[in-house]
Structure 1
Amino acid sequence: MQKKISSENIKDLRNKTGAGMTDCKKALESSNGDVHIAIEILRKKGLATADKKSSRLASEGLIESYIHAGSRIGVLLEINCETDFVARQPEFQQLAKDITMQIAACQLVNYISKNDIPLDIIDYEEKLELQKDDLTNKSDEIKSKIAKGRLEKRLKELSLMDQNFIKEQSITIEELIKQHISLLGENIKIRRFERFLLGEGIQIKNNNFVNEVSSMIQSD
């Protein structure tokens, strides 16, 4: 028996996904009122639509900043879309804020995607995996297979697009962006980001009083 779809159901799904009212109604009808299945239907539809737009030029957008509580971590992000109109939409601006928070939270992330990781870094990480003690007595075939799996995991740790979204662990940052491409109707690209850690790269001199006095005596 087909479950009756109310306007409240449709509105609730729209609030959860940002999809249009008609699409929400169709998704709920297809899922017989099951919200979780309806969300999956809309997500799959959105991802397919987003893939078609991903090659379009995105030169507008904004630069977003985030300073974590305590002012010890900061992030600058450039995220692009196709028009200034979309750049001014609250959904796009919230997306930018969410991604800067994600970058601040993921200290291992240094690249936008795995495709951006330099070959020398990949080679270095692969050599490290192959040299690990627990692989010493394995055959070359087994060793290569294990190291390849571990390398893939390591590269995902370095890639922003492969991170699970901190506000919704069931989707990745790549899927989050594709959802917004579908929602806003324009291509969206993360162009670059920079993370700042207070004191990073500074060699802190930490001589105690005894060592300081000792060095003064020796100099006399």
Structure 2
Amino acid sequence: MINISAKSVKELREMTGAGMMDCKKALAENEGNTEKAIEALRKKGLASANKKSSRQAAEGIIESYIHTGGKIGILLELNCETDFVARRPEFQALAKDIAMQVAASPDVEFVNTENVSKEFIESESKIQAGREDLKNKPEAIRNKIVQGRIEKRLKEKSLVDQPFIKNPDITIDELIKQNIAKIGENIQIKRFVRFNLGEGVIKEEKNFANEVSEILNK
């Protein structure tokens, strides 16, 4: 089987806007031939997904997902271009899958790395720069390591960078691009909110022996 380099996959992705795994598969199926891989992606509609991503998406739905046991709830707004697409079963199924992804990803706080707050980045930079294993390293190397760790941390917080729970071979970003190609409209995650039962409530700790004593002494 032909070996497909990460560089060739990256180049094809930049040329077509298709997902990383789709690019790798297209190259593998076409013996590493870039032109044939582009043609294969175009036939599947995947090469046009990136172009559609710049179009306005103001319609869509607000999807809810309550995890088994009722202790985690998710509200998610998924946008598309028309109300017609918003009513399609494929689009609604996608919204449900992404809401489930949020429930399964407790560390995720932002839709993508562009949405990460400046305060979070500054705080994370201070934490990483102060780690013990970096103290004796030259400044240039230390800065490079810190930058790499911050980028990794931001991806851990980004919803679109998470491996899809139903298919870990693709990310949520790639899942959305596949659906853009399939449906023919731009699709964007606008926002999400996670509700954890009892979050923010300080539970009163009771001593059972004292509680029994109080009852007997009444």
Place the TM-score, normalised by the shorter chain, in its bin. 0.7 to 0.9
**1:128 and 1:51 mapped to 2: Cα distance?**
35
Following superposition, the deviation at residue 69 of structure 1 comes to 0.7
Task: Supply the RMSD in Å over aligned alpha carbons.
Answer: 2.7
Say if 1:43 and 1:179, in contact at 8 Å, map to a contact too: no
Following superposition, the deviation at residue 160 of structure 1 comes to 0.5
Q: Which residue of 2 aligns with 1:64?
A: 63
Q: Which residue of 2 aligns with 1:22?
A: none
Following superposition, the deviation at residue 58 of structure 1 comes to 1.0
**1:124-152 C-alpha deviation (Å, 9 max, x unpaired):** 11110111122122221221111111111
Matched, 1:77 2:76: yes
Q: Which residue of 2 aligns with 1:129?
A: 128
Following superposition, the deviation at residue 59 of structure 1 comes to 1.3
Say if 1:164 and 1:172, in contact at 8 Å, map to a contact too: yes
Distance change in 2, residues 1:44/1:102 (3 Å): farther
**1:44 and 1:168 mapped to 2: Cα distance?**
23
**1:166-208 C-alpha deviation (Å, 9 max, x unpaired):** 1111111111111111110101111111001111111112142
**2:130 and 2:43 mapped to 1: Cα distance?**
41
Q: State the aligned residue count.
A: 182
Following superposition, the deviation at residue 47 of structure 1 comes to 4.3
User: 1:171 is paired with a residue of what secondary structure?
Assistant: strand
Say if 2:163 and 2:170, in contact at 8 Å, map to a contact too: yes
Q: Which residue of 2 aligns with 1:160?
A: 159
- How high is the TM-score relative to the length of structure 2? 0.75
Q: From the CA coordinates, give the structure whose radius of gyration is larger.
A: 1
Matched, 1:114 2:119: no
Q: Which residue of 2 aligns with 1:54?
A: 53
List alignment gaps of at least 5 residues for structure 1.
1-26
**1:54-76 C-alpha deviation (Å, 9 max, x unpaired):** 11111111111111111111100
Say if 1:46 and 1:178, in contact at 8 Å, map to a contact too: no
Q: After the TM superposition, which residues 23-42 of structure 1 pair with which residues of structure 2 at under 5 Å, given as runs?
A: 31=30, 41-42=40-41
**1:21-54 C-alpha deviation (Å, 9 max, x unpaired):** xxxxxx8xx759xxxx99xx44996443111111
Following superposition, the deviation at residue 213 of structure 1 comes to 9.7
**1:56 and 1:135 mapped to 2: Cα distance?**
44
Distance change in 2, residues 1:89/1:206 (3 Å): same
Residue identity in the other structure for 1:91: E
List alignment gaps of at least 5 residues for structure 2.
1-25
**1:143 and 1:60 mapped to 2: Cα distance?**
46
Following superposition, the deviation at residue 212 of structure 1 comes to 7.3
Q: Which residue of 2 aligns with 1:140?
A: 139
**1:213 and 1:43 mapped to 2: Cα distance?**
73
Q: Which residue of 1 aligns with 2:204?
A: 205
**1:203 and 1:140 mapped to 2: Cα distance?**
44
Say if 1:47 and 1:175, in contact at 8 Å, map to a contact too: no
**1:77-130 C-alpha deviation (Å, 9 max, x unpaired):** 110111111111111111101100000000011110100011111011111011
